[in-house]
Structure 1
Amino acid sequence: MITIKGLSKIFHTKDQDVRAVDDLSLEINKGEIYGVIGYSGAGKSTFIRLLNRLEDPTEGSIWVDDQNLTSMNKGKLRLARQEIGMIFQHFNLLWSRTVHDNIAFPLEIAGVPRAERQKRVNDLIELVGLKGRGGSYPSQLSGGQKQRVGIARALANNPKVLLCDEATSALDPETTDSILDLLVDINEKLGLTIVLITHEMHVIRKICHQVAVMEQGKIVEQGEVLDVFLHPQRQVTKKFVDQVMGDPEKETSMQVIKNNYEAGEIIRLHFVGESTNQALISEISRKFTVDVNILHGKITQTQKGAYGTMYVQFEGEQDEINRAIHYIQSTSVEVEVDPDA
């Protein structure tokens, strides 16, 4: 659906050249919700503006549904953009227009007849959960309602792709979840490909199928969300995973454990998918002569299944502890033994 090859963007300033996006390549499949995460300055906002050529790339190509956006003239690009909707962090609504008229605006520009516009707008108002608010002005709406208007407006021309630029960053957690649920609903009902950028791992965890991690203009890690949660490779990715899992830094947590639990073996368990439902700890207690002390743990849900991590302490004879660890390793639960604990 979307193929990006060797994409770069260099901004020329008085003092220096800034490479905001650096030789970036990605494949995004049709119907996916693809998340791009990075801290401020990583280049993710520039990247998403390149996708519909609000910014022109310095190098590289962008293909959307077999069309090369980077080689199009302004006329063809104007038509191609009708198939790419975009929602923004601060809504970008027309404050002098009602909800109805904000949503109708791109249809007016596209020359859609009035009767057809009316039906399309009413359908979209219902789709995004704003029935009865068509005559309201943006100043009369909450933040979440404003973003729903932004989503409806982005969907007006029946786009194939929806770009989300920090779409929930200005919202409170409860409203964020409701907007994310709406995006999932739209993805499933319309088969829409969604690309979103964020600095919040909660957003990635809740709705994305795939994730790419950006740092200094580059993609440093990418893959299925569950895989990235389970095996983060880069330090920046580990920090993002910790946002959701709530784990303290491993060095700090292990130091606390060492200070308070002198005996036994400290083990970190990773649960994925169906393994999160296993009564593993009680099985270990029944099968082996070891005492099990749960020190820290959390389970969270991704689009591809549950993911959990838990620190436990095993006390008993070393041979029996080794047998218990070997048993866990024979299951779908992954085991990490801290060598210094």
Structure 2
Amino acid sequence: MISIKGLRKVYTSDNKKLTAVDDLTLDIENGEIFGVIGYSGAGKSTFVRLLNRLEEPTEGNVIIDKQEITSLTKNELRSARKEIGMIFQHFNLLWSRTVEDNISFPLEIAGVSKEKRVKIVQELIDLVGLSGREKAYPSQLSGGQKQRVGIARALANNPKVLLCDEATSALDPETTNAILDLLVDINQKLGLTVILITHEMNVIRKICNRVAVMEKGKIVEKGDVLDVFSHPKQPVTKKFVAQLMDPGSEDETEDIENLLHNVNHDGVLLRLRFIGESTNQTLISQLAKKFPIDINILQGKITQTQTGGFGTLITQFIGNEKDISNAIEFIHHETSVEVEVIRNAD
């Protein structure tokens, strides 16, 4: 397990202090894919660089696999870093070296024999899907291929932890999905812990088990991805979730106001929230058969996470007040769908 306690990083410039990471405490389980999300300036990249001491912490400690990273000497840290791989947004490849030489580089530094290096490099090339590109130079590779080289290089010393700092931010959506699939495959095959830093909620949704939301250097919300997505508490988390559910908008309140303005006032406006197995329920069909009401679906989206689906439907129930009330009671007591009345009939 990775245990982080009271982690703080303060920069001083022109006699002014800037706190990039502020009293951060977090536990990450072995073998999980843990996401850290925040907008630019939230402190997430500083945080991940503190884990392997590419940045020196001002306060606090980091323990990885029972070893306190923050108390190691420089020589001890060099040895410990072999077990902490890292991939970067802009790849950080050696442009004068081929694919196989880039991957081999950390093994050369570690003093691994040439015969063993060749074997490990080929295994990694096969793992990340670069067979046939061994002799290519970075300038001859696509963005996705460059990141695959970066991933293979990060895995060269057989690390226990893989740190990913905005690893897909420079890639197009299709390539991003391919790299995320690769990270899941590596996580499952090698059993290593992945810590993924991003500002993209879709990245968290697709591969992470748990997530921490950062703002102004602090973790403001954390938990299982499905729980955080389906019941966001903090304004910043609600913005991320709104962006995921409707990429063209981050303001749910404004969306609801627009809906209220554009629909007639005859019925009751409801928000139906589907979580986990409830996303497979044929709720609208059941309601239409059981109750003499009309149901108008105004807006909605269902999306999937690693641990299940979640989503919302904004609906309008039109009909007799008692029938509508009975339908709402049915949802409350007979289904696992959450229901909220946004506006009653005028």
| Deviation (angstroms), 1:257 | 2.4
Spell out, residue by residue over 1:75-109, the C-alpha distance to the aligned partner (whole angstroms, 9 max, x if none). Answer: 11100000000000000000000000000000000
Are 2:293 and 2:323, in contact at CA under 8 Å, matched by a contact in 1? yes
1:311 paired with 2:314, answer yes
1:225 paired with 2:225, answer yes
Q: Distance in 1 between matches of 2:234 and 2:257?
A: 22
Tell me which residue corresponds to 1:250. 252
Task: Map 1:7-156 onto structure 2 (within 5 A).
Answer: 7-156=7-156
1:336 paired with 2:343, answer no
Structure 1 gaps, min length 5: none
Q: Distance in 1 between matches of 2:44 and 2:206?
A: 19
Identity %: 66
Give 3-state SS (helix, strand or coil) of 1:338's partner.
strand
Spell out, residue by residue over 1:101-156, the C-alpha distance to the aligned partner (whole angstroms, 9 max, x if none). Answer: 00000000001111110000000000000001000000000000000000000000
Q: Distance in 1 between matches of 2:162 and 2:77?
A: 16
Segment drifting more, 328-337 vs 110-119:
328-337
Q: Distance in 1 between matches of 2:39 and 2:344?
A: 32
Spell out, residue by residue over 1:203-230, the C-alpha distance to the aligned partner (whole angstroms, 9 max, x if none). Answer: 0000000000000000000000000110
The normalised TM-score by structure 2 is 0.97
Tell me which residue corresponds to 1:269. 272
User: CA 1:167–1:298 in 2, change beyond 3 Å: closer, same or farther?
Assistant: same
Are 2:268 and 2:344, in contact at CA under 8 Å, matched by a contact in 1? no
Are 1:88 and 1:165, in contact at CA under 8 Å, matched by a contact in 2? yes
Letter in 2 for 1:335: V
Segment drifting more, 274-283 vs 95-104:
274-283
Give 3-state SS (helix, strand or coil) of 1:82's partner.
helix
Letter in 2 for 1:277: N
Give 3-state SS (helix, strand or coil) of 1:314's partner.
strand
Q: Distance in 1 between matches of 2:234 and 2:264?
A: 30
Letter in 2 for 1:83: E
Tell me which residue corresponds to 1:295. 298
Q: Distance in 2 between matches of 1:250 and 1:182?
A: 33
Spell out, residue by residue over 1:278-306, the C-alpha distance to the aligned partner (whole angstroms, 9 max, x if none). Answer: 11001000001111000011111100011
**CA RMSD after TM alignment:** 1.0
Are 2:267 and 2:344, in contact at CA under 8 Å, matched by a contact in 1? no
| Deviation (angstroms), 1:329 | 1.2
Segment drifting more, 180-189 vs 326-335:
326-335
Q: Structure 2 residue aligned with 1:320, among 318, 323, 339?
A: 323
| Deviation (angstroms), 1:273 | 1.6
Give 3-state SS (helix, strand or coil) of 1:111's partner.
coil
Q: Distance in 2 between matches of 1:250 and 1:70?
A: 42
| Deviation (angstroms), 1:340 | 6.3
| Deviation (angstroms), 1:322 | 1.0
Tell me which residue corresponds to 1:160. 160
Letter in 1 for 2:205: R
Are 2:83 and 2:161, in contact at CA under 8 Å, matched by a contact in 1? yes
Are 2:50 and 2:57, in contact at CA under 8 Å, matched by a contact in 1? yes
Q: Distance in 1 between matches of 2:189 and 2:312?
A: 33
The normalised TM-score by structure 1 is 0.98
Letter in 2 for 1:31: G
Structure 2 gaps, min length 5: none
| Deviation (angstroms), 1:15 | 4.2
Q: Distance in 2 between matches of 1:258 and 1:85?
A: 51
